[in-house]
Amino acid sequence: MNTVLIADDSKFMRRWITSILNQSNQYKVVAEASCGASALNQYLQYLPDFVILDLVMDDLNGLDVLKEILQENPKANVIICSSMGQDDDIDLALNCGAKDYIVKPNFNSLIPTLNSLPVY
């Protein structure tokens, strides 16, 4: 079973994403974070197969966390999941190394996106 870290400042959103992942029976949420610093700490502690990361969080924003994670592991599977769906935001996240970008609450592509990524 593939492991996942969900980092989002909204507890509701973390629960919603967890329920989607639980329905697939392929993914196990091993950690949750409500702020950027916690997301980075949780990543380093659990080294999950996938990170689902919001852009707007307290202390460190999602792009800062993405960059830090990729410094630790350039092959990390980080998917940005944000309500900020402007082309500039999407392009910036993908250019920084995110594997994909999902605009909340359009989660239909979450499982297919995870399934398409290699696990190292």
Per-residue model confidence (pLDDT) at position 76: 97
What is d(CA 13, CA 93) in angstroms, rounded to the nearest whole number?
20
pLDDT in tens, 49-90: 999 999 999 888 999 999 999 999 999 999 999 988 788 989
Per-residue model confidence (pLDDT) at position 83: 86
Question: Residue 2's pLDDT band (boundaries 50, 70, 90)?
Answer: very high
Mean pLDDT for the chain overall: 94
Fold classified for 2-116: Rossmann fold (3.40.50)
Residue 14: pLDDT above 90? yes
Can you give the residue ranges of every domain in the chain? 2-116
Per-residue model confidence (pLDDT) at position 58: 84
